[in-house]
Amino acid sequence: LLVFAKSGTNLPGKVHSGFYDQVTAIIETVANEVTELAKVNPGLSVIITGHSKGAGMAPIAAYYLYANYGINAAQVYMFAAPNPGNQAFATAYNNQFPNTVSFANYQDIVPILPPSPLLATALAIYCDSVLSAALLAMIVFDYEPVWGNNENRNYIEQSASFEQINLEVAYE
């Protein structure tokens, strides 16, 4: 539950340390593969997608590829995305990738994690001392969501089918 903010190579602001570490463990291989594919497929479009933990990693990966390898993702799709970084990261990311599309079930807790300072404070009131201390420790790092422009945040009802979600993406 307790995660720390981390400054990343050529990333603005700070990001979730766990997501960052997972991205950097694979990013060189991804960048090399994309570079090789682009050589034989001129005009290649890179689309990044992720669900839950992968959706927390997706914006970090997109910005990392852009800042460190010159690879600009044409589109980023996130499903049930947790908050990947602080306000500085969110602002820079949203400016660079305004077409990001994020889907979240309105009853899912993952898109509000890690909690913002306000939510962490509210939750800490109702938790035991150990969990309360962990939640309050998160307040020093203000996690923020990313989703390009605010029009690209889509809340899906519990009963939505994959066909409905695909139609919504196709018509955006």
Sequence-separated (6 or more) residues with CB below 8 Å from residue 152: 99, 100, 101, 102, 172
Three-class DSSP category at 149 = coil
- The predicted model scores a pTM of 0.77
Give the DSSP H or E segment for 6.
strand 5-6
Given this model, what pLDDT does residue 127 score?
A: 72
Given this model, what pLDDT does residue 63 score?
A: 97
Given this model, what pLDDT does residue 114 score?
A: 74
Given this model, what pLDDT does residue 87 score?
A: 87
Given this model, what pLDDT does residue 45 score?
A: 93
The span from the CA of 11 to the CA of 135, in Å, is 25
Tokens 């009131």 correspond to: 125
Given this model, what pLDDT does residue 27 score?
A: 96
The span from the CA of 27 to the CA of 21, in Å, is 10
Given this model, what pLDDT does residue 1 score?
A: 47
Parts of the chain with a pLDDT under 70? 1-3, 115-120, 123-124, 128, 131-132, 134-143, 147-172
Given this model, what pLDDT does residue 172 score?
A: 41
Question: In angstroms, what CA-CA distances link 126 with 64, 131, 152?
Answer: 38, 9, 33
Given this model, what pLDDT does residue 53 score?
A: 93
